[in-house]
Structure 1
Amino acid sequence: MSVQLDSQARQLAREAAQWLARQDAGELDADGALQLQHWRARSAAHEALWQKAEQLRQRFSQVPPPIGLSCLDRPDRQRRKLLGQALALGAVAPLAWVAYRQLPMTRWGADLATATGERRGVELAGGGRVQLNTASAVNIAFEAGRPRLHLLRGEIAVDSVGPLQVQTRDGRILAGAGSFCVREGEQDCEVSALRGALRLLPRQGGETVLESGQRARLSAHQVQGVEAFDPQMPSWQQGVLIVQAQPLGHFLRELDRYRPGVLRWQPSLERLAVTGTFALDDTDRILALLAASLPLRVQYHTRYWVSLSARSAVA
């Protein structure tokens, strides 16, 4: 996400937090309520964030006991105003996080998009299918009757029945009939050919052919790291994570992609190794399985704030 988009998301989150605080403090008269309705109707982004704000209010806007007691002691308008300001301060941080993580700006204008933890598949006109992994967004167009996908964020799996093109930040992927995956990273894209060959064309480099059963990293200047992999191994498309003696830190960073909220762990846990097959539809169960098989404990501060620590340490 660019600095400009990140700034827009945070500003929108602050506006949502302010409206929520005014509503909870009883400061919205008829005109205020109408203004709120107009704010929500300005775009799909405004309405989506408002809905998410109301959902998160119960988890992130718990009133601290001292504030609650003082408001009960003197239930006047000024106290309600102070409470509203406190709620606004408490809501800005989580709502800003939601704007960035749960509702990224790139999703709001995309043809297809998924939230954190969501996977979604759709059929392409003329045949074929595209499946979006967690927190992903893609635009779909057609040129001379051929599909052209523009990956805006995240990861997709594509089943194509004929010529098809995927545009990424770093270059293009040309496919015939076959199946492949594309995942955007911070520095480049990982491209995996499950069935059929692919042509990878960096924005400023030469073409590389990727054969079935190979994967590579596509950057703006080159294709590198070509290696073989097992295309029959189940993956996120089947809703699972399969790991063998993987460092726990790496596993948790991958799991964090599928889990809304904040997931933190002690650095000392990074060196532990994890093996197993984990269903992505229940990340709480995955955390419970880790606690049962490894010397760590899981502490829920809220549903959306979880920390992992060594079992002998205090979280």
Structure 2
Amino acid sequence: MTKPNDVFESIDTDLNTTSSKQLIEQQATHWLLIQDELDLDQKVQFEQWLVIDPEHERIYRRLEEALSLVEQIPVAQSSDPVVLVEQLNNSSKVTIATDKVAVNNHVYRWFAVAASIMLIAMLGWFGQEPQEAGPVIAQQIYQTETAQVETYLLVDGSVVTLGPDSKLLVSISNQARSLKLLSGEGYFDVVTDKIRPFVVSSGQVGVTIIGTEFNVRYNSHSIQVAVSEGLVEVELQDMRTKLQAGEVIIADNSSGLSQVTSIDPALIDDWQQGQLTYQDVPLGHIVSQLNRYYAGQIIVVGEDVEQLRVTASFSTQDIPSVIQDLAAMLSLEYTQSGDTWLLTKPAMVKTN
């Protein structure tokens, strides 16, 4: 008997391979099967695959929807995909599965995905044409390297400036403008278009606007959104907040949306001029951004040290000096080994 993993190991997930709808279905199945096990690089690859062709996302979402239905059938009844589909069709009331071990089991998930494919085939979902998305005008992946800042003109006339070590996926059609910030920071000067909302997502955070200027900063733990001009709506899960010029908010998956605070609009894009300005920001967030400007690595030792609050302004031209200034400001010790710097509490540094 063929093992489930063997079925999908040979599937080509090349971003440029979109010649066959059947191949896209195979690729979507592959991504759904391993979705819970993706590392950071695979997540980036998946996001790229998803955005490079509207058909990719349409088919993947159909399969995802079918899987959610199949997984709601009591899992102890059967692991046969044919029986699972029959149970779903004959069930007058769908109940949530309670056997977590079975739900998370690789073999069960493979059967569930197989059942989902059968369900989609029965309903004809794969063959349905998208009802909302218009033909794509432009799709592009923009990426910058360490210490590199680049400005890009999008096909709709909007302008995006990416900070160092940033990655942005852009998909623009006749009916929508969708962008995904996968890492780093971006400043967006958006052309007004009431018909096509401009939506920027990063992690689980979505920012929707009609026409404005705003900044999105991606950190490992949170997303910061600051508005220079106009009005934006920030969404995280079921929470929504509107920001106007001179306001900033931090969205965190664990703690939700922070309170809206004020910021000088002139400081929001100061990083484009080589200046970094912070107002009551955790040290860990600052170091995360500094690492995008520095060829080496800066490490903060201790969660309590990461949470130290900082209000200051630094130049990106001399990162080692910034590290020393931060250490002096927060009464920390720093040690250097080549291009690697450690920031620690004084008691944590051994002395001879």
Which interval holds the TM-score relative to the shorter structure?
A: 0.5 to 0.7
Aligned partners of 2:279, 2:249: CA distance in 1, in Å?
A: 21
Aligned partners of 2:317, 2:214: CA distance in 1, in Å?
A: 23
Q: Deviations over 1:139-193 (max 9, x none)?
A: 1121217643222222211011213221333243221221011223445532222
The alignment partner of 1:134 has SS state of coil
In structure 2, the partner of 1:241 is 276
Is the CA contact 1:182–1:190 (under 8 Å) kept in the aligned structure 2?
Answer: yes
In structure 2, the partner of 1:81 is none
In structure 1, the partner of 2:242 is 209
In structure 2, the partner of 1:106 is none
In structure 2, the partner of 1:182 is 216
Say which structure, 1 or 2, has more relative contact order (CA 8 Å, 6+ apart): 1
How far did residue 126 of structure 1 move? 3.5
Q: Deviations over 1:238-270 (max 9, x none)?
A: 321234787766644543343233323565977
Q: Deviations over 1:6-52 (max 9, x none)?
A: 5879xxxxxxxxxxxxxxxxxxxxxxxxxxxxxxxxxxxxxxxxxxx
Q: Deviations over 1:88-135 (max 9, x none)?
A: xxxxxxxxxxxxxxxxxxxxx971112233322212223221111232
Is the CA contact 1:170–1:188 (under 8 Å) kept in the aligned structure 2?
Answer: no
Q: Deviations over 1:34-71 (max 9, x none)?
A: xxxxxxxxxxxxxxxxxxxxxxxxxxxxxxxxxxxxxx
How far did residue 196 of structure 1 move? 0.3
In structure 1, the partner of 2:161 is 131
How far did residue 296 of structure 1 move? 6.2
Aligned partners of 1:237, 1:183: CA distance in 2, in Å?
A: 13
Is the CA contact 1:170–1:189 (under 8 Å) kept in the aligned structure 2?
Answer: no
In structure 2, the partner of 1:151 is 181
Is the CA contact 2:224–2:250 (under 8 Å) kept in the aligned structure 1?
Answer: yes
**What is the aligned-residue identity percentage?**
24
Aligned partners of 1:218, 1:308: CA distance in 2, in Å?
A: 26
Please tell me whether residue 192 in structure 1 is matched to residue 226 in structure 2.
yes
Unaligned stretches of 5+ in structure 2?
1-34, 44-138
The alignment partner of 1:258 has SS state of coil
How many pairs does the alignment contain?
A: 214
Aligned partners of 1:169, 1:179: CA distance in 2, in Å?
A: 20
Letter in 1 for 2:295: P
Letter in 1 for 2:246: G
Aligned partners of 1:118, 1:246: CA distance in 2, in Å?
A: 23
Is the CA contact 1:138–1:153 (under 8 Å) kept in the aligned structure 2?
Answer: yes
Question: C-alpha root-mean-square deviation of aligned residues, in Å?
Answer: 4.1
1:127–1:134 distance in 2 versus 1, CA, 3 Å:
same
Is the CA contact 2:239–2:257 (under 8 Å) kept in the aligned structure 1?
Answer: no
Is the CA contact 1:214–1:229 (under 8 Å) kept in the aligned structure 2?
Answer: yes
1:273–1:199 distance in 2 versus 1, CA, 3 Å:
closer
Is the CA contact 1:190–1:218 (under 8 Å) kept in the aligned structure 2?
Answer: yes
How far did residue 285 of structure 1 move? 3.3
1:186–1:293 distance in 2 versus 1, CA, 3 Å:
closer
| Equivalent of residue 282 in structure 1, options 288, 296, 318 | 318
The alignment partner of 2:267 has SS state of coil
TM-score by length of 1: 0.53
Unaligned stretches of 5+ in structure 1?
10-108
Is the CA contact 1:205–1:220 (under 8 Å) kept in the aligned structure 2?
Answer: no
In structure 2, the partner of 1:93 is none
The alignment partner of 1:127 has SS state of coil
In structure 2, the partner of 1:228 is 261
1:79-158 correspondence to structure 2 within 5 Å? 111-144=141-174, 147-158=177-188
| Equivalent of residue 200 in structure 2, options 135, 148, 166 | 166
Aligned partners of 2:334, 2:208: CA distance in 1, in Å?
A: 44
In structure 2, the partner of 1:307 is 342
Letter in 1 for 2:143: A
The alignment partner of 1:277 has SS state of strand
In structure 2, the partner of 1:98 is none
Moved more, 182-191 or 127-136: 182-191
1:313–1:269 distance in 2 versus 1, CA, 3 Å:
farther
